[in-house]
Structure 1
């Protein structure tokens, strides 16, 4: 019998692939709960369910069902029940399910939903987040009914931050913290007022919690996130950090002596490395444990398959001396072990993307979610003491057995100023020696993010169509130290542009299968800015696709949800006193020089890089009768490629694919 001929990935294969996320070990370390997300092809809708696997016999059972999205599975301290968030009856609310089986019980009925459940140490209460307006009560359903029935009213804006790419236009609602009694269902609101609060963790004695907030007089201008300790007895707050930077992901040591937290003091604004800090509760001291370690703590890898990855933060061992965490370096993410003495050791660091971590702090065993360029993502059991690792799931194996994927081969080269730059090259599916292929340069967003050794659906689709795919981490990217990530600030279109163009020079010199006359370039967000910049400064590329891009920093300053401070931090210009700086770094200034056929893709409800950025570019090109096309995606924000409507995600991929096929393969 002849061997089955495998095919490459298509955009539509998103309907076949399953995403695994947010693994959570039970307290006794014998079971793991996790999320599995797939797409209903008929409804073009996501569904996310909770699965629970037994680590001893490897049996995996589905616990929740239906055309719903469940999230945040969290075991009770004794493991007898599981709390989770679900939108099964509209607004997302907390539910609780007995570990021995049975129906899920609805635990909250909050006016504006509930999220991020955190169990108290004794299992009697759950801390969670909700949203409330100035005149709303947490359970005021009648108020909600009246609100739905009232007529349209003008929106009155009196603050500089009045919209968000994540939620749209902001009203007077703020995020607050509450606790629900598991037995009675009674809810106590812990915070109020015109401030957003986010949850942290419980103290081991259950008498305090940590939280994050910006309690400065002008939060729209100070742009910080401080760590606080709240006494649940009188709701008093003790401030831990000093209002200089951003902190999140707190974790209290089991003995109650320390709080570990991830953050930075904004020394380089948005380009500052996140580090591990340790607060001594009894002695009221805060120190940075990784101040001399030139590494980003956390997962900053860019991908287009998983969305909503959960940062595990600092996971303590039972002895309160050590902890585990994720870190990003050199295009990979891995697991490290640290101690209160400041020791940092790799536990698992290979050429892969660890995007999920849960640890048994007594047995030093873990369950990891891992992706590689040829693996969308599976769960693995890992012995942190011995290094033994075994696959636990294989949800995508049966489909991928029929698919040929292209691996990514890493390379390193010297930029003209001798800075080291890291990149990857993927051969086309069905590669033949001696043949030359059209090649596409991909540029990531951020810019403070990192291409990684992870699965990228867009890249695999292009490789399946006969394209070589090249992607790099130019300066400004995370993963290569503080100096490298900060180097792009004030220099957009400078040495970062030279880095990506030098990558093209390098692959042309070192790989003889690239057709130099058939080069394409694409990228999204900052990668869209760079795509626009490239085609305005060189005609080297035969086709380009710019996605959710920036074309004009002058208008971006006032229309983006982050425009006023991002422009100042990143471009070092502002609309009042330094307009020339913004205009000089704007691709629109150089639009007359663009000759490359340019496809423009943008979401209608993108408030991060608003669609007017695309409109200006399109009209300027059309006015010159240049070769361009503009595709607008309805009801889509900046996250279209990762978590947007499944049909539109696929439409986007096919538009990219067809544009490059038209201009790079047709003679």
Structure 2
């Protein structure tokens, strides 16, 4: 275990973006450049963490605007100052390593509590930045296709969140990929770029029907519930609420669609969540295609006793027969397992795991196991972080023999390499 970059300290707010850059093979030098101010005036300024770039167009009340104050010189920061900052997130490095696409969020009207999020492109060759989208809604979660020619992203420009595809080399109108009534999010590409997997929250009783029929029934049920004067909720199982949101009688399922927009299908039918319902067990894209593209590895919510167990498991889904039983890869561990990622060569899979069942705050270890291209394990998983007293945050393969990860250290977030 080593601490590269002389224990580079990373503010908590940028932990996720930095690791996502590494996931696409970012070299250490580029990582340091990003941390020290790759986006001028953005996440960092002169080595100091700031919220983002000042947006002069952010809506705010003239009476409460700092500019209208009679005070001169230094003054305490006010809430209106925060409204004026643009927030950067989700940087994604192109496969050729020349471009970063990231999202920028700004407050459009503070009094009306409205905001917009758009995608921008940053050139690592000449240091210029340019807009990729210009929506008044929300464009997020950009992902380059394996060949780098297309950009997949999620947008609410049409109302509900749907997936869109844009030619990454030129600016133009994005093509809407999904039109599912329950919305689509967290889209990822298959290794060959021919398929896309995404998450949608649906009613499980319709999930085994053909897609068009299932989607129509979900839409009908949602419209009926929205128009009903009765808003009381009836629950017959635990759990029914997680923190500030109701779980209700829906499940988060994973769908697969062809990149041309055809053959959309639910590949995790049934009354079980195929995607984490709690952020405690979520670390970004919590599912992935196997290297051969024939299976999905997902982070499945416990099949039984979800309200009192932490036994999230990694399961393998056969895309040629999605109605078959999910193959549990981590059945030997009664605690939580999540966040699968294959090595660049596809011969190993890394994931995070806890050791103490039922204990949400347990240390997260980084596990690695040898595997075949279809995700079948060929050995026993081994912990690469068992000897350090640190809980692994987000992580990324940097080579077949090395993984970079972030962990809390001395009140800050440090970057490590295993």
Alignment deviations for residues 268-310 of structure 1 (CA, whole Å, 9 cap, x no partner): 8133111101122242412222112101211xxxxxxxxxxxx
What are the residue-to-residue correspondences of 1:496-645 with 2, within 5 Å? none
Residues 302 and 310, structure 2, Cα contact 8 Å, conserved in 1: no
Residues 278 and 287, structure 1, Cα contact 8 Å, conserved in 2: yes
Q: For 2:291, what is the secondary structure of its paired residue?
A: coil
The number of residue pairs the alignment matches comes to: 319
- 1:260 aligned residue: 350
User: Higher Cα Rg: structure 1 or 2?
Assistant: 1
What are the residue-to-residue correspondences of 1:155-304 with 2, within 5 Å? 155-166=233-244, 168-198=245-275, 199-235=286-322, 236=324, 237-241=326-330, 242-266=332-356, 269-281=359-371, 282-298=377-393
- 2:129 aligned residue: 60
Structure 1 324/264 Cα, relative in aligned 2: closer, same or farther at 3 Å? same
Q: For 2:360, what is the secondary structure of its paired residue?
A: helix
Task: Give the stretch that moved more between structures: 79-88 or 232-241.
Answer: 232-241
Residues 110 and 139, structure 1, Cα contact 8 Å, conserved in 2: no
Structure 1 138/254 Cα, relative in aligned 2: closer, same or farther at 3 Å? farther
Equivalent of 1:114 in 184, 192, 206: 184
- 2:38 aligned residue: none
- Segments of structure 2 that go 5 or more residues without pairing to the other structure are 1-71, 207-213, 276-285, 372-376
Structure 1 267/197 Cα, relative in aligned 2: closer, same or farther at 3 Å? closer
What are the residue-to-residue correspondences of 1:142-541 with 2, within 5 Å? 142-152=220-230, 154-166=232-244, 168-198=245-275, 199-235=286-322, 236=324, 237-241=326-330, 242-266=332-356, 269-281=359-371, 282-298=377-393, 313-317=394-398, 319-338=399-418
For 2:294 and 2:141, locate their aligned partners in 1 and report how far apart those are by CA, in whole Å: 24
For 1:139 and 1:7, locate their aligned partners in 2 and report how far apart those are by CA, in whole Å: 56
For 2:162 and 2:379, locate their aligned partners in 1 and report how far apart those are by CA, in whole Å: 36
For 1:138 and 1:335, locate their aligned partners in 2 and report how far apart those are by CA, in whole Å: 44
CA RMSD of aligned residues (A): 2.1
For 2:191 and 2:181, locate their aligned partners in 1 and report how far apart those are by CA, in whole Å: 27
1:130 maps to 2:200? yes
Residues 209 and 230, structure 1, Cα contact 8 Å, conserved in 2: yes
For 1:60 and 1:139, locate their aligned partners in 2 and report how far apart those are by CA, in whole Å: 42
Residues 76 and 123, structure 1, Cα contact 8 Å, conserved in 2: yes
Alignment deviations for residues 381-435 of structure 1 (CA, whole Å, 9 cap, x no partner): xxxxxxxxxxxxxxxxxxxxxxxxxxxxxxxxxxxxxxxxxxxxxxxxxxxxxxx
For 1:268 and 1:173, locate their aligned partners in 2 and report how far apart those are by CA, in whole Å: 24
Structure 1 272/142 Cα, relative in aligned 2: closer, same or farther at 3 Å? closer
Q: For 1:158, what is the secondary structure of its paired residue?
A: coil
Structure 1 233/218 Cα, relative in aligned 2: closer, same or farther at 3 Å? same
Q: For 1:270, what is the secondary structure of its paired residue?
A: coil
- Segments of structure 1 that go 5 or more residues without pairing to the other structure are 299-312, 339-667
Residues 335 and 358, structure 2, Cα contact 8 Å, conserved in 1: no
Residues 108 and 185, structure 1, Cα contact 8 Å, conserved in 2: no
Residues 354 and 365, structure 2, Cα contact 8 Å, conserved in 1: yes
For 2:181 and 2:250, locate their aligned partners in 1 and report how far apart those are by CA, in whole Å: 12
Equivalent of 1:10 in 78, 85, 89: 78
For 2:159 and 2:132, locate their aligned partners in 1 and report how far apart those are by CA, in whole Å: 20
Structure-1-length-normalised TM-score: 0.46
1:94 maps to 2:172? no
Alignment deviations for residues 126-151 of structure 1 (CA, whole Å, 9 cap, x no partner): 11111111344235444444443344
1:27 maps to 2:105? no
Residues 109 and 139, structure 1, Cα contact 8 Å, conserved in 2: no
For 1:160 and 1:234, locate their aligned partners in 2 and report how far apart those are by CA, in whole Å: 30
Deviation (angstroms), 1:219: 2.6
Deviation (angstroms), 1:267: 5.7
